[in-house]
Structure 1
Amino acid sequence: MVGRIIAALLWLVLGLGAGARAAAPDLTLTATIEADSSEPFVGEMVLMTLKGDYAAFITLERFEAVQLPNFTWLQLGRDVWSKTRKNGREYTTVERKLALYPERTGRLTIGPFRHRLTLDDGNGHWSETTVTSNAVSLTVRPKPKTNAGWWLPAKDVSIDDRWDMDPAQLADGATATRTVTITAKGQTAAALPPPPKVIAPWLIAFIAPEQRSTKLTRDGPVGSVRWQWRMRLSKAEPGRLPAYDIPWFDTTSRQMRDVVLKSQRFAYATATAPEQVDAPRTNPAAWLLPLALGLGLPVAATLVGRRPRPPGEILARLRQALPEREALAMRLARLRGDARAYRTAAARRLTRRGLSPEHHLATLDTALFKAGEPADLAALDRQLRRLLRRR
Structure 2
Amino acid sequence: MVKWIAVFLLLLAGGAHADTLRLVVPEGMRPVVGEMIPVTLRGEYTSVIALETLTFPGSDDYDWVQLARDQWRDEEIDGRTVRVFERRLAVFPRRAGALTIGPVTHRLTVVGADNLRTPLEVVASSVTFPVPPVASLATEGTPLAARNVTIADELSSAPGNLRDGETLVRRVTLKAEGTLPHLVPPRPAMREPWLISFAAPEQREMQLTPAGPVTTVTWEWHLRPKTGEPGVLPAVTLPWFDTVARQMRSAEIPAIPFGYASFRDNRRGIDRLPAGQARAGLLAVAAGLAAGLACAFAGLSRRRRDDMRRRLRRLSPFDPTRHRLKRAVRGGDLTAIRRAAEHYLSRRRKLGRPVSGRETAQLDATLYGRAGNAPEVGPEMAAAAVFRHG
**Paired position in structure 2 for 1:313:** none
Letter aligned with residue 18 of structure 1 = V
Contact 1:57 1:121 in 2 (8 A): yes
1:132 to 123, 148, 158: 123
RMSD of Structure 2 on Structure 1 (CA): 3.7
**Equivalent residue for 1:221, pick from 213, 218, 232:** 213
Shift of 1:17: 5.0
**AA aligned opposite 1:225:** V
1:68-107 correspondence runs (5 A): 68-107=59-98
Q: 1:353 to 1:274 in 2, by over 3 A?
A: farther
Q: 1:123 to 1:253 in 2, by over 3 A?
A: same
Deviation at 1:225, TM superposition (A): 1.7
Q: 1:91 aligns to what SS in structure 2? A: strand
| CA–CA separation in structure 1 for the residues paired with 2:75 and 2:318 | 60
Q: Deviations over 1:325-345 (max 9, x none)?
A: 467698101112364344344
Give the Cα separation in 2 of the matches to 1:142 and 1:162: 34
2-structure distance, mates of 1:349, 1:257 = 15
Matches within 5 A, 1:300-339: 325=313, 331-336=319-324, 337=327, 339=337
Aligned match of 1:283 = none
CA contact (8 A) 2:207 2:215 kept: yes
Counterpart in the other structure of 1:271: 263
Q: Which blocks of at least 5 consecutive residues in structure 1 are unaligned?
A: 1-9, 276-289, 299-318
1:259 matched to 2:251: yes
What is aligned with 1:117? 108
Measured in 2, the distance between the counterparts of 1:354 and 1:259 equals 17
Task: Give the Cα–Cα distance (whole angstroms) in 1 for the partners of residues 151 and 261 of structure 2.
Answer: 27
- What residue number does 1:374 align with? 379
Aligned to 2:237: 245
The answer to whether the Cα contact below 8 Å between 1:327 and 1:345 also exists between their aligned partners in 2 is: no
Q: 2:137 aligns with which of 129, 134, 146?
A: 146
- For residues 256 and 269 of structure 1, what CA distance do their matches in structure 2 show? 40
Q: Which structure 2 residue ranges, 5 or more long, are not aligned?
A: 268-281, 291-306, 329-336, 370-375
CA gap of 1:38–1:254, structure 2 versus 1, over 3 A, is same
Cα deviation code 1:338-383 (max 9, x no counterpart): 6434434424635875955322443554576567311568745763
Q: Deviations over 1:247-266 (max 9, x none)?
A: 11112222111011000012
Residues 58/365 of structure 1: CA separation in 2 closer, same or farther (3 Å cut): closer
Alpha-carbon distance in 2 for matches of 1:351, 1:376: 25
Q: What amino acid maps onto 1:187 in structure 2? A: T
Instruction: Name the CA distance, whole Å, in 2 between partners of 1:16 and 1:381.
Output: 75
Change (3 A) 1:17 1:329: farther
Structure 1 residues 198 and 68, CA gap change in structure 2 (3 angstroms): closer
Distance 1:327 1:79 in 2: 62
1:47 lines up with 2:38 in the alignment: yes
Question: Residue by residue, what CA displacement relative to the aligned partner does 1:113-166 show, whole Å, maximum 9, x if unpaired?
Answer: 110111224853322211111222222223435345332222211111111222
1:82-125 Cα deviation digits (max 9, x unpaired): 23233453332221122223344444433221101112248533
Displacement of 1:174 after TM fit? 1.9
Q: How does 1:186-225 map to 2 (within 5 A)?
A: 186-225=178-217
Does 2:149 correspond to 1:157? yes
1:375/1:168 CA distance change after superposition, 3 Å: farther
What whole-Å deviation, never above 9, does each CA across 1:189-214 have from its counterpart, x for those lacking one?
11111222222233222101111223
Distance in 2 of aligned mates of 1:367 and 1:204 = 45
SS at match of 1:358: coil
Name the CA distance, whole Å, in 2 between partners of 1:329 and 1:81.
67
**Counterpart-to-counterpart distance in 2, 1:254 and 1:167:** 37
Partner of 1:281: none
How far is 1:273 from its partner? 6.9
Contact kept? 1:237, 1:274, Cα under 8 Å: no
> For residues 359 and 341 of structure 2, what CA distance do their matches in structure 1 show?
13
* Structure 1 residues 166 and 241, CA gap change in structure 2 (3 angstroms): same
Specify the alignment match of 1:168 in structure 2.
160
The answer as to whether partners of 2:247 and 2:360 remain within 8 angstroms in 1 is no
Identity of aligned residues (%): 34
Pick which of 54-63 and 266-275 moved more.
266-275
Which region of structure 1 is more displaced relative to structure 2, 71-80 or 125-134? 71-80
